[in-house]
């Protein structure tokens, strides 16, 4: 895959306004698209309506605009695209690559209690319902990773990566018990539907890559390039996130927007000098720096 056709995207969850960590991801994805003469899209990942905060999507789009990060196409909302996800799930089911699951969280926890886990590893689903529901009602739908094998890929910053999806993750959920489509399926379907070629996002999402590569192959969709950026950490060394109380960014004046961008660029290792420049000039300078560091062949 060459850089001749490049489509990138930023896909925030509207569970709150942008904070320093999410702006870093937005800036990095925008810079990568501009550095390669590509298009940059914004997708509101609100497939989980229970976590969506009313008005957060509008505020996020305004914050991005305040910072000079404007998408090249009208943003899309995942909550309006369920038919696409259902078609993908139906295809996987028809090919034996997905199946209904009747297990509750408590049952899964009990069945996998003996697993050896690191502090950050996931609880691996043991495949209880692969052979059928045994007369029980379906609660969720899972993919069948029994023959996934070890997946290998190259991250543009983290370099060579690999994961055995079956042993590291197991048969992950595609349609949840609460009726919402899972992130893994939705993101893969949307990236393909929007023609995305490159995903630039925070390193906390790097572990999702193998699952998404597997789904792309299972659905016959194009492979993507990945670049996972450093994270913004709080004083305790934890990832800055909405869940741990990261404050919303103030971007309502050019000075505040510029300051937020400078903090993000510094975390990305870019030169934040020239603070008297306006936002557009700063962004243009960072595009050149980004291209020098991450230029595609």
User: What is d(CA 101, CA 279) in angstroms, rounded to the nearest whole number?
Assistant: 51
Is residue 192 within 8 Å of residue 219, measured between CB atoms?
Answer: yes
Q: Does the pLDDT at position 2 exceed 60?
A: no
pTM of the model as a whole: 0.90
pLDDT band at 119 (very low <50, low <70, confident <90, very high): very low
Q: Does the pLDDT at position 26 exceed 80?
A: yes
Tell me the two tokens of residue 202: 């925070």
Q: Does the pLDDT at position 210 exceed 90?
A: yes
In order of 100, 225, 226, 282, the CA distances from 213 in angstroms are 22, 10, 10, 35
- DSSP assignment of 163-188: EEHHHHTBS-EEE-TTSPBPHHHHHH
User: What is d(CA 286, CA 122) in angstroms, rounded to the nearest whole number?
Assistant: 37
pLDDT band at 242 (very low <50, low <70, confident <90, very high): low
123-153 pLDDT, tens per residue?
788 889 999 998 899 999 999 999 899 999 9
Strands (DSSP E) contained in the chain are 7-10, 39-44, 76-77, 98-101, 140-143, 150-155, 159-164, 173-175, 198-202, 225-229
Which residues belong to the active site? 242
Q: How do the domains of the chain map onto residue ranges?
A: 7-80+195-204+226-294
The crossing angle, in degrees rounded to 10, of helices 254-267 and 279-294 is 10
CATH architecture of 7-80+195-204+226-294: 3-Layer(aba) Sandwich (3.40)
Predicted local distance difference test score (pLDDT) of residue 180: 95
* Residues facing residue 164 across a β-bridge: 150
Q: What angle is formed at CA 258 by the lines to CA 256 and CA 259, rounded to 5 degrees? A: 65
Task: Name the residue among 136, 114, 112 with its Cα closest to residue 123.
Answer: 112
93-106 pLDDT, tens per residue?
999 999 999 998 88
């Amino acid at each position: 895959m060459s850089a001749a056709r490049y489509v990138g995207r930023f896909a925030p969850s509207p569970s709150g306004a942008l904070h320093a960590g999410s702006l870093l991801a937005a800036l990095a994805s925008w810079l990568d698209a501009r550095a390669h003469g590509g298009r940059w899209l914004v997708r509101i990942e609100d497939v989980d309506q229970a976590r969506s905060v009313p008005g957060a999507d509008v505020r996020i789009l305004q914050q991005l605009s305040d910072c000079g990060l404007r998408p090249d196409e009208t943003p899309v909302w995942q909550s309006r695209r369920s038919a696409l996800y259902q078609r993908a799930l139906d295809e996987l089911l028809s090919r034996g690559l997905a199946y209904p699951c009747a297990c509750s969280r408590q049952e899964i926890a009990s069945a996998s209690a003996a697993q050896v886990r690191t502090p950050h590893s996931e609880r691996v689903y043991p495949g209880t319902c692969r052979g059928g529901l045994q007369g029980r009602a379906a609660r969720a739908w899972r993919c069948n990773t029994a023959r996934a094998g070890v997946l290998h890929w190259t991250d543009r910053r983290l370099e060579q990566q690999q994961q055995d999806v079956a042993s590291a993750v197991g048969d992950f959920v595609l349609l949840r018990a609460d009726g919402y489509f899972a992130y893994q399926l939705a993101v893969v379907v949307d990236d393909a539907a929007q023609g995305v070629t490159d995903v630039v996002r925070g390193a906390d999402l790097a572990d999702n890559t193998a699952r998404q590569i597997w789904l792309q192959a299972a659905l016959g969709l194009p492979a993507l390039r990945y670049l996972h950026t450093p994270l913004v950490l709080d004083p305790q060394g934890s990832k800055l996130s909405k869940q741990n109380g990261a404050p919303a960014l103030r971007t309502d004046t050019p000075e505040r927007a510029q300051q937020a961008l400078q903090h993000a660029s510094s975390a990305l290792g870019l030169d934040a000098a020239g603070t008297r420049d306006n936002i557009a000039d700063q962004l243009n300078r960072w595009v050149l720096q980004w291209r020098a560091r991450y230029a595609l062949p």
